[in-house]
Amino acid sequence: MKTKIPLSVAIITMNESRNLPDCLNSIAFADQVVVVDSGSSDDTLQIAADFGCDVYTEPWMGFGRQKQLAVDKCSHNWVLVLDADERIPRETATIIQDIVLQNAARAAGYSFPRKNYFQGRWIRHLGWWPDHLVRLFQKNRGHMTDAQVHEGVAVDGPVEMLSVPIEHFTESRLSQILLKIDQYSTLGAKDAFAEGKNGTVWGATLRAILTFLQNYILKLGFLDGRQGLTLSITDAINKFFKYAKLSELTQNSKREKGK
């Protein structure tokens, strides 16, 4: 696609120099790319600037609000929300081009199946495929949910399910996965606490065991080889720490009220 189409792409970043170039190259057909960074110390900002992105630096507000900041800065009616470790394959780019240029009002938003890759393997089980997510929508009819983690796009109107995928090359380095587990479990615990939920360490342990069994056995994670085993274990660990941290928040709240 040599001619750029009237599409804005919204991306949030934080030290994404390893992922961002391939992501940006896959969306070269978009007229505008908005990058909202939350304090990168690597070459992320320079990469985005060299590509011609509209670059902004904003303090971290949680995934949902941070992505909404990027959406708010988009100038076109059609918006595509992407993560830096995602790619738009050529076949998907063609469909997006058709939707935007035809300006067909068949739907207010479109969802895509997401092909998740982990340690070089396309994960077909564990609930990871087809993993449909709304990512393309009309700006005046959609917005990001307010969740600190596991945010999504809420659309006012019909959503059409497409068959062409988005590719997601999820973090495969175990050291970085452990850091993400710490971050995501903290955010998840805070969201749960804000909703009035509480937990215990025993409950967290049971949830972790059930999560592993569900992923590895019921969702056929064992068919995804060593990668499926690793993902089943790390998901169980994340579940444990989310609810253990929720228990900690619950106990701290009770102590504060008892003073």
Locate the domains of the chain by residue range: 5-169, 174-258
C-alpha to C-alpha distance for 110 and 97, rounded to whole angstroms = 13
Distance between CA atoms of 47 and 13, rounded to whole angstroms?
A: 11
Q: How far is CA 63 from CA 70, 145, 183, 200, 250, in A?
A: 11, 9, 11, 26, 23
Give residue 105's pLDDT band: very low, low, confident or very high (50, 70, 90): low
Higher pLDDT, 148 or 109: 109
DSSP one-letter string for 153-205? EEESS-EEEPSSPEEEE----HHHHHHHHHHHHHHHHHHHHHTT----HHHHH
What confidence tens digit (pLDDT) does each residue in 210-247 have?
999 999 999 999 999 999 999 999 999 999 999 999 99
How much is the pLDDT for 102?
A: 85
Q: Does the predicted model carry a pTM greater than 0.75?
A: yes
CA distance 239 to 206: 10
**Packing angle between helix 225-258 and helix 174-194, nearest 10 degrees?**
40
Residue 150 confidence class, pLDDT cut points 50, 70, 90: confident
**Radius of gyration in angstroms for the set of CA atoms belonging to the chain, rounded to a whole number:** 19
Q: Check pLDDT > 70 for residue 143.
A: yes
Q: Homologous superfamily of 5-169 in CATH? A: Spore Coat Polysaccharide Biosynthesis Protein SpsA; Chain A (3.90.550.10)
Q: What is the pLDDT of residues 52-65, one digit of tens each?
A: 999 999 999 989 99
